[in-house]
Amino acid sequence: MAGLLASGYGCTDSDPVYSCDGLLKDKPLANIQTCVRANWQLHYKKGGITGNLKQAFTDTYLDIRQNDSVYFTYEGTLVAKSVITWKNITDVQGSKTFIMTFSDNSGYPYSWGVWGIENDTLTMYDNANDGFGYALTKLK
């Protein structure tokens, strides 16, 4: 029971109580969904072919809603209003996990893994070779 502590991330009265602090990629899908269900601001991505390319964002948001819909706003423009499909796969890093997939308004596919939440920062990653890692904070 000690591991089942509520942190309040996206929780509703009907949700089971899950810990949302720390590593999430090895957790059950319901735990991951509960923890990421919120409106997040994307601050930067880092990675790419050299591993250290970094791009900062000022007006980019990922709004993950109760019904597994996602609204992705990139630098002030809504680029995706889509439904998330969660896939239980072996990711590019060799770990069995759930990957969040959706497409933007032009059909471009996104395939992101949820790494975890630490100190109010959600970290996600591209499920792709030479992908990026993403740092987001929950909007209050």
Domain that holds residue 115: 38-138
Is the pTM value of this prediction over 0.75?
A: yes
Q: Which of 121, 90, 78 is nearest to 133 (CA)?
A: 121
Average pLDDT, the chain: 90
Q: In this structure, what CATH number is given to the domain that contains residue 128?
A: 2.40.128
Residue range 9-56, pLDDT digits in tens? 444 555 567 789 999 999 999 999 999 999 999 999 999 999 999 999
In the chain, how many domains are there?
Answer: 1
Q: Is residue 19 part of a domain?
A: no
Q: Is residue 46 part of a domain?
A: yes
Q: Which of 51, 46, 76 is nearest to 61 (CA)?
A: 76
Q: Is residue 3 part of a domain?
A: no
Instruction: For residue 5, give the 3-state DSSP assignment.
Output: coil
Q: Is residue 115 part of a domain?
A: yes
Rounded-to-integer distance, Cα 92 and Cα 96, Å: 10
pLDDT computed for residue 2 by the predictor: 32
Q: Is residue 7 part of a domain?
A: no
Q: Is residue 29 part of a domain?
A: no
pLDDT computed for residue 5 by the predictor: 32
pLDDT computed for residue 96 by the predictor: 97
pLDDT computed for residue 104 by the predictor: 97
Answer for the pair 3, 19: CB distance below 8 angstroms, yes or no.
yes
Q: Is residue 22 part of a domain?
A: no
Q: Is residue 12 part of a domain?
A: no
